[in-house]
Amino acid sequence: MTQILNYIHGEFVPAQNNQTLDNYNPTTGEAYSTLPDSDAVDVVFAIQSAKKAFPKWSALSPQDRSTWLHKIADGIEKRFDEFAHAESVDQGKPLWLSKEMDIPRAILNFRFFAEEILKFEHKQIVPAQEGSTLSHVIEKQPIGVASLISPWNLPLYLLTWKIAPCLATGNTAVCKPSEVTPMTAYLLAQVLQEVGLPAGVCNMVFGTGNNVGSTLTSHPGVSLISFTGGTETGRKIAQSSADKFKRLSLEMGGKNAAIILEDADLTKAVPALIRAAFLNQGEICLCIERFFVHEKIYAEFLSEFIKATEKLKVGDPFEDDTFMGPLVSKAHLDKVTLAIERMKQDKAKILFGGTAEVSVTEKNKNGYFFNPTIVEDLSDCSEMQQEEIFGPVASFRSYKNLSEAVKWANTTPYGLCASIWTQDTDKAAKVASHLDVGTVWINCWMKRDLRMPFGGMKDSGLGREGGHYSFDFFTEMKTVCIQI
């Protein structure tokens, strides 16, 4: 069994208490590695190390830090297959998806911010206004030690989305990957050591949210917190950090809607929305869980959607034709199963799937598989139309008027993203302006230009990440006023 270790001050170490947790392979249901069950002692050690590293790291030029980021990207690239394999074993996602999405994006996160930091205006000179004798310089400075806390659905992708801008701007980091999927973060720590990143610049502490996370968010040595995860955890983090006025970026849950207008091109909409519902087993914060379809095309759309879903193979993530692997954990499988039971109680009709009865090989019989599920006609106020399921469950409802669909789309506490399908892009733009979400995709889904601001409204988030928006989060502004 691989023994995952913490990476603190450039060294691999067990938790000081010597406790470990088991890490499970969701495809087989077997424990296949252990990770440190760290506590406050390890976290404080890591924070001290990051604090020690800060003066030198923050004094490097953006060019030097950019070079380091490229070295890390090179290090992941060299071990690409190992990373992709590890992500699929640990998370359950198909290997082709790890190779197509997760690992390339992790590499790109480092390369993208390595280039962007060279364009970032660290110092802006504002000349005196006419008639004034005051000129100004606005400086954007690194802040200190950042806590970077990431979830289990896109483990390396989301962790590196935080590490890269944090280090690029001159901060140092203590990372807490999800205890459910620690393996690629551990491999990344090996890369940091291999490339010789100075000790303390980026530490990795493994363990539970309760033991590790809470110290990471409340410790006075931490100046800023970047968190991606569930809304309830985000709320706890906001509370535990409020006392010290820590800077917070929260990327949280969603209950995203697609609105399909009567003139939508179904040959494009159906395949794209199948991915939107079921990619990564529906475990992407941007996945669409609610589909509002114009009544004139409702029957046709639903029938095409079911036909396409029937063709999706659920099974071993290492078989090339698998579209959906297992859910990430037994706890998550139980959560999705319970959601289906609640939907049934709310009189929803299960049109497809809704069960964990998936035919798999003997070796995978204890895996956490769940069928893609299609549900019809939930009222907009039922609990399951309001709460994020974060699994392969798509609910459908027909609408008469667009205003009705927009109202339903907005009727949740969340506001992460939405997708609109129509050939009338002017109309789509008007609909977009009425949706209370951070990102709207028109005739597409989950296309990302990393320069664009990304984040959620309402209970889906606080702040924006991406391009210079990430740099703004990771830097503090100082105004220097000069009498001339």
Binding site for ligand NDP (CB under 6 A): 149-153, 158, 176, 178-180, 208-210, 213-214, 217, 228-230, 233, 236-237, 251-254, 285, 388, 390, 416, 456, 461
Residue 334 neighbours by CB under 8 Å, 6+ apart: none
Residue 319 neighbours by CB under 8 Å, 6+ apart: 313
Q: How far is CA 425 from CA 67, 296, 405, in A?
A: 42, 19, 17
| Least distance from ligand NDP to the Cβ atom of residue 83, Å | 19
| Least distance from ligand NDP to the Cβ atom of residue 454, Å | 7
- Longest Cα–Cα distance of the chain, Å, equals 82
Q: Is residue 285 flagged as an active site residue?
A: yes
| Least distance from ligand NDP to the Cβ atom of residue 427, Å | 28
Q: Which is nearer to ligand NDP, 87 or 251 (CB)?
A: 251
Element (H, E) at 439: strand 439-442
Q: Which is nearer to ligand NDP, 422 or 470 (CB)?
A: 470
Give residue 224's identity as a one-letter amino acid code: L
Q: Which is nearer to ligand NDP, 38 or 475 (CB)?
A: 38
- Beta strands in 156-246, from DSSP E residues, in sequence order: 172-176, 202-204, 224-228
Q: Which is nearer to ligand NDP, 288 or 428 (CB)?
A: 288
Of the candidates 166, 285, 287, 417, the residue annotated as catalytic is 285
Q: Which is nearer to ligand NDP, 66 or 223 (CB)?
A: 223
- How far is it, in rounded angstroms, from Cα 325 to Cα 333? 12
| DSSP per residue, 392-404 | SEEEEEEESSHHH
Residue nearest to ligand NDP (CB): 209
Residue 190 neighbours by CB under 8 Å, 6+ apart: none
Q: Which is nearer to ligand NDP, 316 or 388 (CB)?
A: 388
| Least distance from ligand NDP to the Cβ atom of residue 348, Å | 21
- How far is it, in rounded angstroms, from Cα 312 to Cα 221? 49
| Least distance from ligand NDP to the Cβ atom of residue 17, Å | 16
| DSSP per residue, 237-252 | HHHHHHTTT-EEEEE-
| Least distance from ligand NDP to the Cβ atom of residue 226, Å | 11
Q: Which is nearer to ligand NDP, 75 or 326 (CB)?
A: 326
Give residue 33's identity as a one-letter amino acid code: S
Question: What does the chain come to in residues?
Answer: 484
Residue among 312, 245, 241 nearest 273 (CA): 312
Of the candidates 87, 116, 251, 304, the residue annotated as catalytic is 251
Q: What are 13's two structure tokens?
A: 């170490």
Residue among 193, 190, 231, 183 nearest 21 (CA): 183
| Least distance from ligand NDP to the Cβ atom of residue 462, Å | 10
Neighbours of 445 (CB within 10 A): 22
The catalytic residues are 251, 285
